[in-house]
Chains A and B, each alone.
Chain A
Amino acid sequence: GQQLNQSPQSMFIQEGEDVSMNCTSSSIFNTWLWYKQDPGEGPVLLIALYKAGELTSNGRLTAQFGITRKDSFLNISASIPSDVGIYFCAGPMRGSNYKLTFGKGTLLTVNP
Chain B
Amino acid sequence: DGGITQSPKYLFRKEGQNVTLSCEQNLNHDAMYWYRQDPGQGLRLIYYSQIVNDFQKGDIAEGYSVSREKKESFPLTVTSAQKNPTAFYLCASSSRLASSGANVLTFGAGSRLTVL
Interfacial residues, chain A to chain B (CB-CB below 8 A): 9, 30-31, 33, 35, 40-45, 48, 50, 88, 90-92, 97-100, 102-105
Contacts and interface: CB of A to CB of B under 8 A. Distances in A.
Given A40-B110, A98-B50, A45 B104 contact: yes
Contacts of B115: none
A103 B109 contact: no
B2 interface: no
Q: How large is the interface on B (under 10, 10 to 19, 20 to 34, 35 or more residues)?
A: 20 to 34
8 contacts: A9-B40, A42-B108, A43-B107, A50-B100, A88-B42, A97-B101, A98-B31, A102-B35
Ranked 9 nearest A-B pairs via Cβ: A42-B107, A31-B102, A104-B42, A50-B100, A102-B43, A92-B102, A102-B42, A31-B100, A42-B110
**Chain A at the B interface: SS class:** loop
Interface stretch (B12-20, B62-70, B75-83, B89-97): B89-97
Interface centre among B4, B35, B58, B112, by most chain A C-beta atoms within 10 angstroms, is B35
A42 B45 CA distance: 14
A97 B109 contact: no
A88 B43 contact: yes
A14 to B, nearest CB: 24
A44 B108 CA distance: 9
Given A31-B100, A33-B102, 5 more contacts: A50-B100, A91-B102, A99-B58, A102-B43, A104-B41
Given A30-B100, A45-B106, A50-B102, A103 B42 contact: yes
Contacts of B100: 30-31, 50
A71 to B, nearest CB: 17
B23 to A, nearest CB: 11
Contact of A42 (B41, B50, B109): B109
A41 B110 contact: yes
Contact of B90 (A43, A48, A90, A105): A43
